[in-house]
Structure 1
Amino acid sequence: MATVILLRHMKSSANGAGVLAGRTPGVELAERGHEQALDLVGRLEGVPITEVCSSPLLRCKQTIAPLLKARGLRSRTDKRLSEVDYGDWTGEELKKLGKEPLWRVVQTHPSAAVFPGGEGLAAMQARAVAAIREHDARIGEQYGAEAVWLACSHGDVIKSVLADALGMHLDSFQRIVVDPGSVSVVRFTETRPFVVRSNDLGGDLSGIVAPKSAKSKRKRGSSDAVVGGSTGN
């Protein structure tokens, strides 16, 4: 198993516009978003990244472009990391959607929410978690337990992956905050994942790298939690 950096795309033209962009084609990064994408290169300096996977949507591709160029990497596109298919809600104003009966279901019982003409949040979580766990197992097997990789995706998608890692029911995932441009980190082991960072918007990321094992590079990371809490780096 390995460590995944869950990166929400940088600020887009739709963020703050009061509409639910969803999978609307052509939604690009805002000017601030392009600046954040450049800043990410410096934030991740010193963090070895073996692979990058991404949602196929433009705002995610633009987010990782400077990092790929700086590292000489290519990204692997996975549609399972794409934004929620909001169906008929796509492109609608949030203030209008807030008056729909389904809005309350999304807020209080999201596991039962299915968007008209789109997908359900439970189905979204199932495909996103499957994608992350499959890529992580493959990368861990190929590069070893200390490997770090990055997945660029969307707010609700990342929240659902974090909820799974925390052992939370999907009905509680609205308690998790994942802002544009934020980094969350999950370290997978044989028996359970550890959430190392959540919604990090500017902290030092060097500590996310798992300590090297004295044994084979293919040795699994420890599944034991530190009793009494982490001692830091």
Structure 2
Amino acid sequence: MELIIDGLKKAIEMILSGDQEIFDITWLTLRVCFTAILISSLIGLPLGMFLGLKKFKGKRIVLILINIGMGLPPVVAGLWITMFLWRSGPLGHLQLLYSPTAIVMAQVLVSLPIVTGLTSSAFQQIDEKLLLQIKALGATKIQTLLLLVKQTKIAIVAAIMAGFGRVIAEVGAAMMVGGNIKGDTRILTTSIVMEVSKGNFDVALAISFILLTVALFITASLTLLQQRRHIP
């Protein structure tokens, strides 16, 4: 219990003292996480909508692959990104390994199937009678899509939150493709692992409290957005 209290005190001390390194690490964490979830949402939401509404040959196989991807171990994602970005890999000439961009790529790989899969499930559950009713009213494709998005807003935001939760807690892939380089690719999760390996449990706990605070604030904000008009 004393160790936890010391960690909390250390976290408050780091914040109040304006620890520049902690602020830089936190900012980089937010930057890569928001970039990753934005990319995953821009690709995953339309893809999930398409898979949920359209019927085509091979759809079941695509959904199986997406569901497998939802449980993809982060270290596997990190390994694949590393191989592609390695000096002798297909994308080695871009020299992106051990950079924030590489971390974003790994985070997209683990969050995209989650956003896509949950969005697809939400749109598959739309009552066909509702679709027929919308068509009968003469709605255009754009109007139909907007109505369906409004109908599934709660599920869509839930998909984004699930994807964000995956990327902000991710450590294995970020460590592998980023290298945990101070001032360049060190984020909150990799910092915690590093401090634990050095035996600095108070600092690791302090950083974990900062990470939890950031995650809780963002998740709470998304939940309020999701539940607007549903909570009295």
Structures share fold, TM-score greater than 0.5: no
- What is the TM-score of this pair, normalised by structure 1? 0.29
- The structure having more radius of gyration, on CA atoms, is 2
More helix by share: 2
More strand by share: 1
- What is the TM-score of this pair, normalised by structure 2? 0.29
